[in-house]
Structure 1
């Protein structure tokens, strides 16, 4: 009897264990299937096995980059192809990934008659891998704000636009749409209006602005922690502008003035109306002094002031009397109204005296040396094309690449030139937490190149794909009107 019970108990135990193993197997199987499903993450874009260029140091490593909702969400060494699904898989083998380029000085302007033609320029930036632009003042602020929203909503193809809104200048300013400044009260009202837009930085122009108002604008803008940039009236010395907090100096004329042993003397002659802007250039080149220049460079560095050389447009404008641009392919793309605005500069260049033409060319050559000297002194440079209406033959999009080439021609390496685009641009506008490098959490504004731009600067134009947020563009298939 006892023995029979023992046998039955053993059988029952074996049966329970057997059933437990079956149940356990099923549970583990279901769990594995469930986990497997969980691991299939969804991404808007995956760029696999690409040569990722760390723009801050030039290191290149093969990575797979994952994008969701316009952000870089993951960067891995290998393509974990079994663990995700994506709407858009890009094979990056033998290709190169960079942050989308920034053009740090453009103009969207020209009044009501050129609104549509300016709007049509925006896809040209994307087609050239430029995902962000800095609009340095004009008369189309309301339109720009509308375009920004459309770009953000993916109803318009174009770059992120950071804008100054209208420029600040004196009464009867050269550029339409400028806010006239005659008093401290005008400055307060103007800055209030710019903050209300809100503008991304304050742009000052020098056609009519007085010395006192120029410095007061800088003081008030600095007190409000507003970023500033601009031209500089020759009635002001460079170190004064630095002391009052200017954030960036557009063009090299003003830096050149700060490198002259005769800066104070020339400034006083300008104030007394004994000397004009262009008349001062020969004296400034002759009185350039390396020791004075080095002191100026150190002050620029100490105050973290950026310089925008705009070399390419200098090359164009200096040789308008010698170079025939009538067959430029971009003339078939740019609107006729914008092309018509080129006529003023062209006529002035052709009608200039031989002395003026010679001075302009000498100055342009000197600026190349000055750019390299600034770079060697660790002054931060910004690549900007100055493209837009009125700036003859300086075309939206492609001219940024020509600016990078011009920077390399001064002696910068391709990497150093590229750093003046998105990397430095994002730092200047204090947007480096969201852009400028390829990092997890940053905006997925990216450009994929077919060839290595670190080896050859012209390779920045060898574009395979452009990524703006969650949109992927093939420049060869883009419809450009």
Structure 2
């Protein structure tokens, strides 16, 4: 027996010397896309423990790791999980389940984080934020504004309506109590004065802001006040007109319609003025979320009514019913109004490369959710990336807009937005190189979210489950 002990001990020592570092997941031989520097790093192994990347090494050194699970990613491209920086959950309490059904659609399309830009289901969204973070609920990480700040009798459901500085302070106290990730401010009935006060006070409190900008205010004014992001690119277009202020104030006084103002803004657009404004936005750190996909759908409803879209099988009947509002408004437009819709979209989208060249941070967001017709959670972000490239960004810039830019904007670039040791294990494996063709983001083979692996079969299962739930909801609605 004594003679056997040294032999057994020697064997144990030999085994220990060759045993690798234990990890939960090892992605082998991937082409890692560096979204910061725009490079593809071939033949890399990505080691994951718990919900973090512990190392990215040459695949030849992968033997140093002993993994509970390995993925052969040979020929595939690894990108960070995508971020949709403008989504909505809403439609009233009767649609809570239909909204919750949207969460797997994001994951199935490689979207591991979303920025909820306000709706009327904030209590539910707060719950989902906590449940997705803990793994209790399948869905992307949720960053939410909670209810938006507005004026009295706003058209938007579920907002916090204010009419004084005292009420503004009370609203911000509520939002901070709910630990919102940013503050959304819109312009339906909120006065320009209270809008500016909201931006400045939120900034004093260390809160990021996102907004629709009141017509009487210029982009330079709101940016200098500390506005974090401007939602929708048409605001950026009108900033290129020397009549931005005067026409905006005329709208505010009720002297002209916004349609009449837009006609004059088009005619007076000055590219050099626009570049000056955009450089100011960049210097102040004000980002732009273009939301081209939602705008394009509505602008061109006369050419494609989307009623036969296959993706509608994933959208509940109650949510589809909320699309009617915009569809019916568009149906009332005469030929001149339809032409103006087209022009507004095309002219607004045309400033995208100017914003990028000026250094403005572009955030990829869809505006998907309730009310926004045929603008779909999940696939909509891939459509948005396609529009961003079509209207002037490179595939790399579009990819940055949907990864690192969002993480930086929300203050999480240290843990998210790119693939590196120490960062979140949110990884999407693609069949093709998205730096060559942005459409490659649709060719998803595997999604790793918070370290959990969802292969193509699992992703298809998510889609099938949502389809079945929606079919049941549709059947119940017609009884």
**Short-chain TM bin:** over 0.9
Among 323, 326, 339, the alignment partner of 2:320 is 339
CA RMSD of aligned residues (A): 1.8
Residue 26 to residue 388, structure 1, CA distance change in 2 (3 Å): closer
Q: Distance in 2 between matches of 1:388 and 1:452?
A: 29
Do the aligned partners of 1:106 and 1:388 also contact (CA within 8 Å) in 2? yes
Find out whether 1:428 has 2:412 as its counterpart. no
| Residue among 233, 236, 246 paired with 1:265 | 246
Aligned length, in residue pairs: 459
Give ranges in structure 1 of 5+ residues lacking alignment: 1-21
Equivalent residue, structure 2, for 1:107: 88
- Unpaired segments ≥5 residues, structure 2: 467-479
- Mapped to 1, the partners of 2:356 and 2:62 lie a distance apart of 44
CA contact (8 A) 1:71 1:442 kept: yes
For 2:217, the equivalent position in structure 1 comes to 236
Change in Cα spacing, 1:470 to 1:287, as seen in structure 2 (3 Å) is: same
User: Partners of 2:9 and 2:105 in 1: how far apart?
Assistant: 57
**Larger-Rg structure:** 1
Q: Secondary structure at the match of 1:279?
A: helix
Match of 1:381 among 346, 358, 362: 362
* Whole-angstrom CA distance in 1 between matches of 2:432 and 2:421: 24
Residue pair 2:45, 2:62 contacting (<8 A) in 1 also: no
Q: What is the deviation of 1:25?
A: 8.3
Q: CA deviation at 1:413?
A: 1.3
Moved more, 367-376 or 268-277: 268-277
Q: In 1, distance between residues paired with 2:303 and 2:386?
A: 21
* 1:124 and 1:480 in contact (8 A); partners too: no
The alignment status of 1:41 with 2:21, answered yes or no, reads yes
**Paired residues of 1:72 and 1:443 also in contact (CA < 8 A):** yes
Cα-to-partner distance string for 1:238-273 (whole Å, 9 max, x where unaligned): 211011100100012322222111122213312322
**Residues 26 and 69, structure 2, Cα contact 8 Å, conserved in 1:** yes
Alignment equivalent of 2:348, drawn from 367, 386, 400: 367
Which residue in 1 is equivalent to 2:135? 154
Tell me, yes or no, if the aligned pair for 2:27 and 2:71 is still in contact at 8 Å: yes
Q: CA deviation at 1:410?
A: 1.0
Does the aligned pair in 1 maintain the 2:47–2:65 contact within 8 Å?
no
Moved more, 204-213 or 265-274: 265-274
1:248 paired with 2:229, answer: yes
- Aligned 1:37-186 pairs, distance under 5 A: 39-61=19-41, 62-80=43-61, 82-186=63-167
State the shift of 1:82 in Å: 4.6
Question: What's the offset of the Cα at 1:40?
Answer: 3.4
1:164 CA displacement? 0.4
Tell me the TM-score normalised to structure 2 length.
0.92
Q: Deviation per CA, 1:171-205, whole angstroms, max 9, x where unpaired?
A: 11111110001011111111111111110001011
- Superposition deviation, residue 33 in structure 1: 3.2
Deviation by residue 1:142-182 (Cα, 9 ceiling, x = unmatched): 11121122222323211000000000010111111100010
Q: Is the 2:217–2:245 Cα contact (8 Å) retained in structure 1?
A: no
Contact 2:236 2:348 in 1 (8 A): no
The Cα of 1:291 is off from its aligned counterpart by 1.9
* Alignment TM-score, normalising by the size of structure 1: 0.92
2:14 to 24, 32, 54: 32
**Change in CA separation of 1:203 and 1:94 when aligned onto 2, cut-off 3 Å:** same
In the TM superposition, residue 277 of structure 1 has moved relative to its aligned partner by 2.6
- Give distance in 1, aligned partners of 2:170 and 2:116: 22
Tell me the distance in 2 between the aligned counterparts of 1:157 and 1:358.
43
